[in-house]
Structure 1
């Protein structure tokens, strides 16, 4: 059954905007104590640094997901119920991003926080991979793109690898967390 894609795109854009809004609510400084000093202010501002860094990282990931979602649906002429459910799974995975972002911001050196972040990023990459594979291979709604499929598989595998790596070193997963978004900013010709 062919379905119009415009409602799916509008719904997705709305959900993604809400996810970003929810994430920004976590960027609150602690209350200043009564009779606070200049040092208290600086300590509170420095305490925001992990939150801002976690927010920036997750914001960039969400932006990349949104851009890839937009690029995918720009090529799709129509939708069907299975593609909608794949999209719903992706939106579910994206809606989880504020949770590990907040936990990681509060406990950046805790392996469990790093593992949770890696798991949710894996879930997002996997959901997008499934949706793209369905659109290209199963439903043939868009032409197959080997480069994009390979890139999606690599990102998904690296996010999965980040989970056990957190038990070895909390710094190795951060290389993955920062490296994957950087990969998407490289010129297209370097992805070959």
Structure 2
């Protein structure tokens, strides 16, 4: 099964999620700076959720770039991820209307945790199809960010019981960690492209392409 339709469908769903979230940004009730400042919390929560959707889109793109043909299990794992991401507009809006109350912040963190678990399931499904020596496994390595994120989400949910703003701060820290560029996959792909170029028409007869891992 070709992966192009899966990627196109996923991109469309993520674009709709962002569109729904931006519609929650309301025009200030009055043409004053004070009225604009009242919308700042809503804007900041939108920025946080937008960052998370962007992070998932970026990593989803990288994973599928290294994936070969996909299976029915991968399709369902991908839908599972999109389900939890599609709830982000709802949990973001509830967190806004609740003025950072304890329960909405906890539910927002739970939404992030379940999306992270779903992404891990999708990644595991792709890795199982390729094998331990597949390009995705070799490119991702130990993936410490993916392992640390669920733990940090649980920490954020825990400190939300002390003060909800602390929980949001932890969620923002996780997003910041993921926003730091991770060039592993890009380096793997670029080295593979260079190796393919070396084995092209201009290469010496009998030469072999270098491994993208070396």
Relative to the length of structure 1, the TM-score reads 0.85
Relative to the length of structure 2, the TM-score reads 0.77
Structure 2 unpaired stretches of 5+:
184-214
Structure with larger Rg = 2
Q: Is residue 40 of structure 2 the alignment partner of residue 49 of structure 1?
A: yes
Q: Is residue 156 of structure 2 the alignment partner of residue 158 of structure 1?
A: no
Determine the structure 1 residue equivalent to 2:188: none
Moved more, 166-175 or 21-30: 166-175
What is the aligned counterpart of 1:79 among 70, 73, 80?
Answer: 70
The CA deviation at 1:44 is 2.1
Determine the structure 2 residue equivalent to 1:184: 178
Which structure exhibits the higher relative contact order, with contacts defined as CA atoms closer than 8 Å and separated by 6 or more residues?
Answer: 1
Is contact 2:55-2:179 (8 Å) kept? no
Is contact 1:100-1:113 (8 Å) kept? yes
1:18-167 mapped onto 2 (5 Å cutoff): 18-32=16-30, 41-136=32-127, 138-140=128-130, 142=134, 143-144=136-137, 145-148=140-143, 150-167=144-161
Cα offsets for 1:83-110 (capped at 9, x unmatched): 0100000100110000111122223431
Cα offsets for 1:45-75 (capped at 9, x unmatched): 1121011000000001100000000000000
